[in-house]
Homo-oligomer: A and B are copies of this chain.
Amino acid sequence: MKRKITLKQIARELDVSISTVSKALRNSAEISDDTKQKIQAFAKLYNYRPNNIALSLKNRRTNTIGIIIPEIVHHFFSEVIRGAELVANKRGYNVIIGLSNESFSKEVINMEMLANGSIDGFILSMSKETLQQQDYHHFNETMSQGMPVVMFDRVVSEIKCDKVIVDDFNGAKNAVEKLIENKCKSIALISTPDYVSVGKLRTQGYLEALNENNILAESKLILKIDDTVDYEVHLDALEAEIEQLFKANKKIDGVFAVNELYALTAMKVARKLGLNVPNDVQVIGFTDGVLSKHATPSLTTVSQHAQQMGEKAAQLLIDKLESEVNPADEEFHTVVIATDLVERESTK
């Protein structure tokens, strides 16, 4: 087993100094062609590669970015990672992942673990618990230490940093407008509690679309699902709630749901109640994932372009890392990613 070779070892082997080796390998003009050749050949033979850690220590930059997300087994987040990794790699950075698992304390611990020199900056999306507790000290501390942060999707205005968000409001509005266009008269909304910023914005979009079309919003048509329950486990409960919504409002002919699962479940319930999708009820979901695509009937959704979000976030972060702007008069940008309505079989 041959351990990784270092400059020092090469120097000793060839009986020259470490600095000569270093210079020779960087093709410095200071070194004679003879020695350069000799050293370079030897280095190649032993497959010399500079040690990243030593470089990081010296340069005070790791060329690594940290991504903290609530959950990785999730189409949206994994797409974001893919996008971020793509851009990061292209620009010579590695990506290190931390999972908060929707927990505040794990988010804090993860960030502290990475902030101590392991990375140059963060891309992150807040955990639900953090959103609920509204405790943002760890973000602000990190930034006050000069570590740039780019937040995506789940953001709050209290934190001053670069942000990449989905145009939740207009995405929802367009979706509901589509339903109205398609002659839906009684459109239900299946959403999350308001502390989830995206749930709130999508609800507003829904209301605005109704409003602009002079349709009276009815609170009984709005179902807010308590998402602290893990509905991946308690699917039945979710189904029951939605079934009640349908039964209490027989006229429902359109449903806008703030995520795939709710939309899919709505379709399932509709079918169970003998309603045809899209003939009797049209359904639109948010988040364009595998479920929507492969459902039967396939689901019309608001696509968030998650990968693009990840790309943009990585760009913003790396741009900041490589810019020479005085942190004092630094500017923060919020990039809004437009949504697309992907029409499939669940609408006419």
A: residues with CB less than 8 A from B are: 1-4, 47, 49-54, 56-57, 62, 64, 72-75, 78-79, 81-82, 85-86, 89, 94-99, 110, 112-118, 141, 144-146, 261, 264, 268, 271, 290-291, 294-296, 327-328
Contacts and interface: CB of A to CB of B under 8 A. Distances in A.
Contact of A72 (B81, B94, B117, B145): B81
B114 A94 contact: yes
Nearest to A74: B78
Contact of A97 (B1, B4, B54, B85): B85
Contacts of A4: 116-117, 145-146
Q: How many copies does the complex hold?
A: 2
A4 B114 CA distance: 13
A117 B50 CA distance: 9
A53 B118 contact: yes
A160 to B, nearest CB: 13
Closest 7 CB pairs of A and B: A51-B117, A52-B117, A53-B117, A49-B116, A96-B96, A73-B78, A52-B118
Contact of A96 (B64, B112, B117): B64
14 contacts: A3-B146, A49-B116, A53-B57, A64-B96, A73-B82, A86-B99, A89-B99, A94-B96, A97-B97, A264-B294, A271-B296, A294-B295, A295-B295, A295-B296
A72 B85 contact: yes
A172 to B, nearest CB: 22
Given A4-B117, A96-B94, A261 B294 contact: yes
A343 B32 CA distance: 73
A41 B161 CA distance: 31
Contacts of A94: 96, 98, 113-114, 118
Nearest to A92: B113
Contact of A53 (B49, B56, B264): B56
Contacts of A99: 82, 85-86, 89
Contacts of A64: 96, 118
A297 to B, nearest CB: 10
Given A57-B57, A95-B96, A296-B296, A145 B2 contact: yes
Contact of A294 (B79, B86, B291): B291
Contacts of A115: 49
A118 B52 CA distance: 6
B73 A75 contact: yes
